[in-house]
Amino acid sequence: MTRRLRRFALALALGLTGIGCSALPGIPSGSEKSFDARGSRSTALESWKDEVIYFVLLDRFANGNRHNDFNVQPKNPTGYHGGDLDGLISKLPYLDGLGVTTLWISPLVDNDDDQLAKTGLWGFHGYWAKDFEKVDEHLGDQAKVKELLDKAHARGMKVMLDIVANHGGYEYKHRDNPRYEAWFNAHGNISNWEDQWWLENGSLYGLPDFNQANPEVRKHMIEVWANWAKLGFDGFRVDTVKHVPKDFWADFNTQISQRTKSDFLLLGEVLHGNSGYVADYQRSGKFHSLFDFPLYYTLNDVFAKGASMRKLGDRFAQDAAYPDAELLSPFLDNHDVPRFLSQAGGDVSKLKLALACVLTVRGVPSLYYGTEVGMTGHQEPENRADMAWGQNPELTRHVQQLLKIRKDSVALRHGKQLEMWQDDEIYAYGRLTGKDEAMVVLNNSDRRQVREIPLRAESRLQDGTRLMDQLTGDVTVVTQRKIRATVPAKGALILKP
């Protein structure tokens, strides 16, 4: 994806964030729907709630092999920088130690090579495929992919592949071949970003746009990506979902699911701020999971920009729009949006608070490489810079601590999320399973805050129960079915009996 395009897409999505943000009447805070009627695949997918995803942009993470540094230009922000599969493999102990459990890796397929001369840009990000059936020569080969999968799996980590079915790169191998003319849409660039037909059938910045109505294209996409899945991946992160018709996704997701293990996850990117719009891709598009872009905008408004914490309550009230909000993937930033710390004016305390939220709310959280060392970057490609190894050890320890707290609490991973308190400064929620409970109190103000917060009716905690803050070890006691929460400025309490 190009810089100009992404800016446009981002501006569009930002423009839509105000739509539908008010709470829905009659719907309780948090999703309290029961999904007992779901089949065995849904049961298998429940295990994803134990995962924390970490996104690695391979070219920018770690260079483990100098022999594949073809035309590498480390000082050119849009050039190849040399990162590869060997580099990622060498960092598995670091990632395991950090506490992340699933690696989402940027696309592996062979990408455009000589766009530098034409556009000043390289396909270092992996989203400009030349050939969907080969591994890019900068990253490694199929044996190296298998080695990554084996070594990650040996540590109990999963690996998710980033795939594209919307477009090829400028040098896509069949682009100018008359035999394949019917494979592509020929409507020119998207001319109306508020029209769904154009989003699906127009080109993104001149990239060849596949015509998924053509049965040959459909079959090819399913075959190609099913073959990649067979190597041993645990799921797909699917790119540019809103630019492809939903009926294709329903077919694709059904067929990929039929050919993969029961917990193979299909996680889609629908870059849009409206919960209802995004939710329909889980319903009609049959994605198991989607990135929680609507929550992303809210987290940025609230924690980076200082908006009222009530916006969090409004956002979670919209969980009812989704068939299963508990499988969404909440996140603070990624390679297509500004890094959170830049949005927050470099204030690490804001990032730490936002991390305490995103790693304790419902769903399968995603972290972007470098967040844990305090990387910044407003725009593409500055938000995709080389991993700044060891830049902020104190922040890294905070992330590690939060991940350990999450790992040690069934409630924080699987519990229903029930709102306990909201005002402009404070937002609090419980996470409850039948047997386990946790409570999170977040203070977005610049001063210490004290609140007496009533337990939810669903809570089984008795008066006199001692609750320990997992971050500091401080103890508070349940009294008259209330907790007295004293929260430091820009601080969080994560309470467990």
Q: Which residues lie near Ca ion (CB under 5 A)?
A: 63, 65, 68-69, 82, 84, 110-111, 113, 136, 166, 209, 243
- Closer of 110 and 469 to Ca ion (Cβ): 110
Residue spans of beta strands (DSSP E) within 38-164: 53-56, 102-105, 109-111, 129-135, 158-163
Alpha helices in 268-323 (DSSP H): 275-283, 293-299, 310-316
- Closer of 110 and 333 to Ca ion (Cβ): 110
CB of 439 vs Ca ion, minimal distance in Å:
44
CB of 86 vs Ca ion, minimal distance in Å:
7
- Closer of 176 and 452 to Ca ion (Cβ): 176
- Closer of 181 and 424 to Ca ion (Cβ): 181
State both tokens at 458.
Answer: 């669903």
- Closer of 135 and 468 to Ca ion (Cβ): 135
> Which residues partner with 219 through β-bridges?
none
- Closer of 137 and 474 to Ca ion (Cβ): 137
CB of 103 vs Ca ion, minimal distance in Å:
18
With contact defined as beta carbons under 8 Å apart, do 471 and 492 qualify? yes
The residue count for the chain: 497
CB of 449 vs Ca ion, minimal distance in Å:
48
CB of 1 vs Ca ion, minimal distance in Å:
13
Distance CA 108, CA 119 (A): 22
- Closer of 166 and 383 to Ca ion (Cβ): 166
- Closer of 123 and 313 to Ca ion (Cβ): 123
- Closer of 143 and 457 to Ca ion (Cβ): 143
- Closer of 209 and 234 to Ca ion (Cβ): 209
CB of 243 vs Ca ion, minimal distance in Å:
4
- Closer of 85 and 440 to Ca ion (Cβ): 85
Residue 421's SS3 state is strand
Burial of 170 (0-12, 13-18, 19+ CB in 10 A): buried
CB of 164 vs Ca ion, minimal distance in Å:
10
Identity (one letter) of the amino acid at 11? A
With contact defined as beta carbons under 8 Å apart, do 313 and 427 qualify? yes
CB of 193 vs Ca ion, minimal distance in Å:
13
With contact defined as beta carbons under 8 Å apart, do 429 and 417 qualify? yes
With contact defined as beta carbons under 8 Å apart, do 26 and 74 qualify? no
State both tokens at 240.
Answer: 């540019």
With contact defined as beta carbons under 8 Å apart, do 62 and 140 qualify? no
CB of 68 vs Ca ion, minimal distance in Å:
5
CB of 357 vs Ca ion, minimal distance in Å:
34
Residue 344's SS3 state is coil
Residue 187's SS3 state is coil
> Which residues partner with 103 through β-bridges?
54, 159
Torsion of CA 341, 343, 347, 348, to 10 degrees: -30
With contact defined as beta carbons under 8 Å apart, do 83 and 136 qualify? no
Residues 6+ apart with CB under 8 A from 323: 279, 282, 283
CB of 476 vs Ca ion, minimal distance in Å:
51
| Helical axes 275-283 vs 246-258, angle rounded to 10° | 50
CB of 111 vs Ca ion, minimal distance in Å:
5
> Which residues partner with 422 through β-bridges?
427
CB of 148 vs Ca ion, minimal distance in Å:
14
DSSP letters spanning 210-222: B-TTSHHHHHHHH
With contact defined as beta carbons under 8 Å apart, do 301 and 311 qualify? yes
- Closer of 59 and 324 to Ca ion (Cβ): 59
Distance CA 253, CA 276 (A): 20
Whose CA is closest to 439, among 331, 367, 361?
361
- Closer of 54 and 128 to Ca ion (Cβ): 128
State both tokens at 94.
Answer: 């670091």
